[in-house]
C-alpha cells in the first residue's frame, strides 16, 4: 500500500549532477563525429578523420573501425575498401570473414 515514495531533494540534486557529468563526459570524447550521406556513405571530411585515427593503429579490421566510430559493420568495410583503393591502407591478410589492413606508411 502507499506505492513508491518520492525521492528527497538531495537525492534529486545528486541524480541531476550525475546526469550532467555523464553528458559532459560524452561530449568530450576524442573521436571525431562522422558525417554520413543519405546513402550511408561517409563524406570526404569523415574519411580523412577516419584515416587520421587509423594511421595511429598497428593494424585495422572492419570491427575495430565500427567500434571506434560507431558505424555499422558494412559501412566500416566500405570505408576500408575506399581507403585501400586510395592507397592509404594496405591489405595484409584476407579470408572469407575478415580483412586485415595496415596503414600504407607502416606497410613499407
Could you give all domains of the chain from N- to C-terminal order, each with its CATH number? 44-107 (1.10.10.10)
Locate all alpha helices (DSSP H) within 1-108, ordered by sequence: 9-27, 44-54, 62-69, 73-85, 104-107
Walking along the chain (108 residues) 10 residues at a time, the average pLDDT comes out as 86 93 69 60 76 90 90 88 92 94 78
Per-residue pLDDT, 16: 94
Pairwise CA distance, residues 41 & 78, whole Å: 8
Cα 65 versus chain centre, distance? 6
Structure confidence at residue 107 (pLDDT): 58
pTM metric for this prediction: 0.63
Report the pLDDT value the prediction gives residue 24, as an integer from 0 to 100: 76
Predicted local distance difference test score (pLDDT) of residue 69: 83
So what's the pLDDT on residue 22? 86
For residue 73, give the 3-state DSSP assignment.
helix
- In the block, cell 557529468 appears at 21
The phi and psi torsions of 65 (rounded to 5 degrees) equal -65, -45
Amino acid at each position: 500500500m502507499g506505492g513508491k515514495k518520492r525521492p528527497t531533494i538531495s537525492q534529486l540534486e545528486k541524480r541531476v549532477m550525475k546526469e550532467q557529468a555523464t553528458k559532459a563526459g560524452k561530449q568530450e570524447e576524442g573521436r571525431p563525429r562522422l558525417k554520413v550521406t543519405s546513402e550511408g556513405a561517409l563524406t570526404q571530411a569523415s574519411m580523412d578523420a577516419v584515416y587520421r585515427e587509423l594511421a595511429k593503429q598497428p593494424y585495422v579490421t572492419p570491427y575495430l573501425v565500427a567500434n571506434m566510430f560507431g558505424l555499422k559493420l558494412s559501412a566500416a568495410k566500405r570505408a576500408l575498401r575506399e581507403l585501400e583503393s586510395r592507397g592509404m591502407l594496405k591489405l595484409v591478410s584476407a579470408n572469407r570473414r575478415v580483412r586485415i589492413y595496415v596503414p600504407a606508411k607502416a606497410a613499407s
